[in-house]
Structure 1
Amino acid sequence: MLVISRKKGESLLIGDDVEITIIKVENGSVKIAINAPKEIGILRKELYVEVTDENQRAVIFDVSALEKLKK
């Protein structure tokens, strides 16, 4: 993991196509702007984890429901 310090107005680059700029720092919160190609999905991690967990529960439910139908 890379840990880097940036101030308001400063940016960092990820590869050739993604630029992250610090827009605002206030009350322990940071507002960032992300400039990336449309093909690159950008998700908040907590939403990604929530959807992934929900999908896993759905698969488990479907499998167990199918097992009950087999009997």
Structure 2
Amino acid sequence: MLVLTRRKGESIVIDVEEGIEITVLEASPGSVRLGIQAPRSIDVWRKEVILQVKDANKAAASTSPGDAKKLGEILGARRAKDKTSD
């Protein structure tokens, strides 16, 4: 990890060709306010948001044995209902 020290009003450039620049707008004990200049095609996310989305996606994609059993019961009941209505 590259560690840089910057003061208020100072910037770092991530990609000269893309024009990605991060500027320190404000620094106070416990927080730093950053300004990010980048093309609209570049996604900029807070890390905690990405982690929350990943966790939510994992939870939505995971199944438990109880879920599979419930699904089997629902499908079985539906098949039985379809047979009786024929």
| Bigger relative CO (Cα 8 Å, ≥ 6 apart) | 1
Shift in Å, 1:28: 2.2
**Equivalent pairs: percent with the same residue?**
41
Structure number with greater Rg is 2
**Structure 1: 5+ residue stretches without partners:** none
CA–CA distance in 1 between the matches of 2:42 and 2:63?
31
TM-score of the pair, normalised by structure 2 = 0.71
Shift in Å, 1:59: 0.4
What code does the residue aligned with 1:58 have?
Answer: A
CA–CA distance in 1 between the matches of 2:63 and 2:13?
42
1:23 pairs with one of 17, 22, 25: 25
Tell me which protein shows more helix as a share of its residues. 2
Shift in Å, 1:27: 2.1
The residue aligned with 2:56 is 54
Per the alignment, in what secondary structure is the counterpart of residue 61 of structure 1?
Answer: coil
CA–CA distance in 2 between the matches of 1:60 and 1:6?
43
The superposition leaves residues 1-30 of structure 1 with CA deviations (integer Å, 9 ceiling, x where unpaired) of 111000100000111221000000112210
Shift in Å, 1:70: 4.4
1:35 pairs with one of 27, 34, 37: 37
What is the aligned length? 70
Shift in Å, 1:61: 3.2
TM-score of the pair, normalised by structure 1 = 0.85
